Structure 1
Amino acid sequence: MTVNARTITDEEFFYGHKACPGCGGALAVRQALKVLGPHAVAALPAGCMSATGFNFPQLAFGNNAMITPFAATAAVLSGIEAGLRAQGAAPEDVTVVGFAGDGGTADIGLQALSGAIDRNDDVLYICYDNEAYMNTGIQKSSLTPFGASTTTTPAGKREHGCLTQKKSLFDIVAAHRIPYAATASVGYLNDFIKKVERARDIKGTRFIHVMAPCPVGWGFPSADMVDVAREIVDTGLWYLAEYEGPALTGAPGGTFHLNRDPKSFKPIEPYLRRQGRFSADDGADLALIERARDERWSYMRETWG
């Protein structure tokens, strides 16, 4: 059965957590587990969702779930999958899933993720991207966008926030010829749900990179979270895409597909100005952000067809 807003279960598998109001990461975990069902086994590294979901004795997971070392999410997923297989667990009944933030994925956890993809272990890895190390004080990660102010990349009269561009993690994962990878946003929840469902039914390593805004770290009212998560897509500063590797397509390099390819984008300035982290950026900074966006889209359209 296709999962959508009408058919998704009312049963909750992630509830009673201590996440901040309007947490995009909590919404991503909640919806993903609804799709994956009660037999999913989850692993989470040090980060927002482990800090807010494992407050003994008030544990927030209805599924079997465990905390991993910060760098080892994908390695622990591999171990869980091997153990379940050794016990004879039916693969259609169990999904081994990891939930890790941008720092725990693109920085400290990238080596373990690369190894899991290389082995093609039968696991699903979901990166909820709030674009900084939010759990430990809003420090820059390699997925922090240019111009964003963090505690380690402050912005002001003499400083311009983050001076590096957001790492192209989706491209890095696809370059491994992974069976399936996708990008998503909690602002387009039906798209995210469909991609989790698709990933659930594919064998081998699967990866979903979901944009999950953080009201505290980004500096906007918690009630605006879904609107911000939608607007980052509508401005073209994030994209919804899928990659199918050779195992699914038979093509040596696999295939890419843009799920949304608008003819025009919403202006970036209103989106950026509604967030405190971009409040010190000047016109030159905004122009650089817009130029990087246009270059990225030009590359995707020309290369992915």
Structure 2
Amino acid sequence: MAEIPDEEFILKTTSACAGCSASLTLRYVTKAAGKDTVLVVPACCTSVIQGIYPNTAVDIPVYNVAFASAAAVASGMSEAFRAIGKQTNVICFAGDGGTVDIGIQALSGALERGTDFLYVCYDNEAYSNTGMQRSGATPLGARTTTTPLGKNEYKKDLDAIVAAHNPAYMATACSAYPVDLYNKVKKALSIPGPKFMHVLAPCPPGWRYPAEKTIDMGKLAVQSGMWVLYERESGKLKITGASKAAMKKRIPVEDYLKQQGRFKTATKEDIAVLQEHVEMNIKRLEKEETGIC
């Protein structure tokens, strides 16, 4: 990881849970963005892990805003900076609850207006900050405090919704692959206009696995195809990083699910459906990459 700078903007005094990959994601996002950056953070885990006022573990300006308003605030902020000739990076850093569900209208509006900003959704697949309730990003079969027997619905396809807005750049990433994450953020911030990144952020207490297994969990997600790394620039999709290798030889989805207590009640039928969904999604992405749609 020699290409990643040593300078830290997320200090060691966060109040994150042990093994928190959301804070790890934020660490590499800010390393890529640099000092001339402002974070816009709606209600989410990051509202808490940054520290308790008047102390903070974040060494760049942070605006903590209402749950639904992050992208709207970022739109005004970006316009204000550009009006005075500043190219300060404006980055929304929001969880899946504040993106897939509560904040999706503001995100859609900002993308439609062509806001010059980067929106990062770190996805731990539930409302983790308030006790791990089900969100639109929770996978089929996963247990949460509001789906104790497992969720009955599919995970919302946020990336398809964002792609329909034709942003200047969009990508997926995972905290277990920091170089891929870092490079995509750097690339996104070099492109004017609206950018979106969807980052898988495994959560030890919510997913019910040992804290020291966070990196392993992210890698299993990619190796099984449950999470595919890609980028879409000017409408053209490219599968990237570890997902290129995973396309040729994937591990069974069950190998990923069985490491997590949240899938303890998942039935064989649930697992089979998830495996089928992975196969269909990968075929769709491969066809798009080759231009066969």
TM-score range, shorter chain: over 0.9
User: Could you tell me how far apart the structure 1 residues matched to 2:186 and 2:251 are?
Assistant: 29
Q: What residue number does 1:130 align with? A: 124
Q: Deviations over 1:22-74 (max 9, x none)?
A: 11110000111011001111110000001221411221210011101100110
Q: What residue number does 1:173 align with? A: 162
Aligned-residue RMSD, C-alpha: 1.1
Give the 5 Å matches for 1:136-147.
136-147=130-141
Q: What residue number does 2:171 align with? A: 182
Is 2:204–2:211's contact at 8 Å kept on the other side of the alignment?
yes
Percent of aligned pairs with the same amino acid: 42
Q: What residue number does 1:45 align with? A: 42
Q: What residue number does 1:303 align with? A: 288
Q: What residue number does 2:72 align with? A: 75
Equivalent residue in structure 2 for 1:121, among 91, 101, 115: 115
Q: Give 1:215 deviation, angstroms.
A: 0.3
SS state of the match for residue 42, structure 1? strand
Is 2:224–2:252's contact at 8 Å kept on the other side of the alignment?
yes
Q: Deviations over 1:133-157 (max 9, x none)?
A: 00011011111001000011112xx
SS state of the match for residue 129, structure 2? coil
Count of residue pairs brought into register by the alignment: 285
Q: What residue number does 2:239 align with? A: 258
Give the 5 Å matches for 1:201-220.
201-220=190-209
Q: Deviations over 1:77-132 (max 9, x none)?
A: 1111122223332x2xx211010000100111111111111111110000000000
Structure 1 pair 7–301 and aligned structure 2 pair: CA distance change class (3 A): closer
SS state of the match for residue 58, structure 1? coil
AA aligned opposite 1:57: P
SS state of the match for residue 41, structure 1? strand
User: Could you tell me how far apart the structure 1 residues matched to 2:288 and 2:62 are?
Assistant: 39
Equivalent residue in structure 2 for 1:280, among 247, 260, 265: 265
SS state of the match for residue 117, structure 1? helix
Give the alignment's TM-score, normalised by structure 2. 0.95
Give the alignment's TM-score, normalised by structure 1. 0.91
Instruction: Structure 1: give runs of 5+ residues left out of the alignment.
Output: 156-160, 246-253
Give the 5 Å matches for 1:79-94.
79-89=76-86, 91=87, 94=88
> Does 2:1 align with 1:12?
no
User: Could you tell me how far apart the structure 2 residues matched to 1:9 and 1:240 are?
Assistant: 23
Return 74-83 or 223-232, whichever deviates more. Answer: 74-83
Q: What residue number does 1:248 align with? A: none
SS state of the match for residue 265, structure 1? coil
Structure 1 segments, 4+ long, off by >3 Å, are none
